Structure 1
Amino acid sequence: MQPLSPPAPFFIEQVEQDQWIPPKRWADWPELILVQTGEGCHAVNGNPFAYRSGDVFFLGAQDQYSFAIAQRTSFCRLSFSPFFVDSLPARHAWGYLDGGASPCLGPIATDAADQEKLRALVGMLLAEEPGLRPCTDNFVVESLLTVILSLVGRLLTRTALAPSTRLTHSVDLTRRVIAYITRHIGEPHRLRLETLADAFNYSPGHLSALFKEQAGDSIQHYIIRHKLNLVARRLRQTSLTVSQVADEFGFTDVCHLNKLFKRHYKRTPTTYRQSVWL
């Protein structure tokens, strides 16, 4: 049976995953998740958001979330007790850290400087955590956690109060397109640009322009990159033949897959599999 609470006022873990494995959660404990590397789609309470390296998400205790991982992702997850939050100074200044739902479902740190601050602070916290086990009676740990939560509270307040930080239409559209791609990646007919544009009531040209403006890549290049990441996962984790994997993701033939895969991974699917199975 899952314990009611861990043996410390907070818990930190660092994991690297190809496929999302829901973590253990404790009642009334909010969470902070830092994406250190990787990309994919993050869903909070049914709302999809594209994520990439550097993104930071704050989840309230009542938020339901998951990650659809497109590229192998390294997460750092920090959970903290509401009792610890209540003991912090200036608690009234950032009441968003209570046990409810987060006021911001998307990334809370979009500025590179804020992302770097959180990454550095969490890195120091991890350095104080031998074996990634919670420490107790450690002044350095408690001080670091206090600073981290103060910064999170400030970011949440800024997000809630500043209209300029709300999702623009094109950002929201891009995230919904990425969620659609992730959901239908095994259905090539649904990923044709014309079909995808119809699904969002845009012309192909307009949708392509909006997507590239926000994602920095064309829709078709994004789909290919996403497929190749999934192909690499299949090669690592299954015994399917390269031909079967090519069929699964709608490549014209093995030669087509070989060409694209080698361009992306600098080796063929066969040599890639051999290297990871050694």
Structure 2
Amino acid sequence: MQRFHLQEPLSIRTFELDQWTTPDRPPDCYTLILVLSGEGYHTINGNQFAYFPGDVFYLSVQDQYNFRITQRTKFCWLSFSTALVSKLRTTGDHAWNYLNLSISPCPGPIAPNSVDQGNLQGLAAILLSETKSLRPLISNPIIEGLVKTLLSLVDRLLTQRGAVAIAQSTYSSDVIQRVIAYINQNIGEPHRLRMDTLADEFNYSPGHLNALFRQHAGDSIRQFIMRHKLKLVAIKLRNSSLTVSQIADEFGFTDVCHLNKHFKRHYKHTPTLYRQSFPK
């Protein structure tokens, strides 16, 4: 598979992949990755995030990362050597506090809205155009000005993300608790538990809500709903006189065969045999 190498202080390229091939990164560069199209998952320092078109990820010098591509993805990949960043910092009033850190303090997408995403994509497009024009990227005042602007924007976004990280974590946890409460209230109504219905209810895209739920609950929403249904079915089998058909209907299964299939997968027995193992 194709590999990508960084030899220069500044490198920018675009590429499309169906399966992730990690570009070679020297130990002394910062990297900005823009997702132009496609979907999948980005893992950085053990933290996994779903990605979608428009998302932007920042890698510091010692970050460990990977991508799992679920839909063919086009990336724009920009790398800046630490020497270049230090040089640009000394030629202007740029603290760039977050760029000084060797490990990203706030992993995940750094551009929360379409305006910031568009600004980063616009700057990257100009830099890419300069690359294709064969004009020198280093010691070029226009290029240096663009890179300073780009790095200043990245540092601002990292600062903002770091400032709200705790609040976001608390909010995300609250959202998941509300999703679970909603599932409990509507466990017998399958049409209310459709992924698109849940996403609309909580003002998330289906992909983002499912990724957030998995991050906090350990299961996808569909897996959680099925596990929860089957636990309630087991309770009914042990403690009620309802027929298996009535229980299947109560919890929104298509028929007894549908319930049998899922119940046996989790409990190793059919509902009838499971009930018989608990004598009245």
- For the aligned pair, the TM-score class normalised by the smaller chain equals 0.5 to 0.7
Deviation at 1:45, TM superposition (A): 1.1
Aligned to 2:80: 80
Contact 1:108 1:156 in 2 (8 A): yes
Whichever residue aligns with residue 137 of structure 2, its letter is C
User: Is 1:48 paired with 2:38?
Assistant: no
Task: State how far apart, in whole Å, the 1-side matches of 2:158 and 2:109 are.
Answer: 10
| Per-residue CA distance 1:147-195 (angstroms, 9 max, x = gap) | 100100111111112358734426996xxxxxxxxxxxxxxxxxxxxxx
Compared CA separation, residues 118 and 164, structure 1 to 2 (3 A) = farther
Identity of matched residues, %: 41
DSSP 3-state at the match of 1:103:
coil
Aligned to 1:169: 172
Alignment: residue pair count? 189
Task: State how far apart, in whole Å, the 2-side matches of 1:165 and 1:17 are.
Answer: 35
Deviation at 1:83, TM superposition (A): 1.6
**Higher radius of gyration, 1 or 2:** 2
Compared CA separation, residues 48 and 97, structure 1 to 2 (3 A) = same
Contact 2:106 2:165 in 1 (8 A): no
Aligned to 2:36: 36
User: Is 1:123 paired with 2:125?
Assistant: yes
Q: Which has the higher contact order (CA 8 A, sep 6+)?
A: 1
| Per-residue CA distance 1:208-240 (angstroms, 9 max, x = gap) | 565564223697xxx9xxxxxxxxxxxxxxxxx
DSSP 3-state at the match of 1:110:
coil
RMSD: 3.3
- TM normalised by structure 1 equals 0.59
Aligned to 2:141: 139
Task: State how far apart, in whole Å, the 1-side matches of 2:135 and 2:76 are.
Answer: 13
Aligned to 2:156: 154
Compared CA separation, residues 164 and 118, structure 1 to 2 (3 A) = farther
Contact 1:85 1:91 in 2 (8 A): no
Aligned to 2:205: 215
| Per-residue CA distance 1:232-253 (angstroms, 9 max, x = gap) | xxxxxxxxxxxxxxxxxxxxxx
Whichever residue aligns with residue 43 of structure 2, its letter is A
> Structure 1: 5+ residue runs without aligned partners?
174-196, 224-278
Whichever residue aligns with residue 117 of structure 1, its letter is N
Compared CA separation, residues 166 and 131, structure 1 to 2 (3 A) = farther
> Structure 2: 5+ residue runs without aligned partners?
188-192, 211-219, 221-280
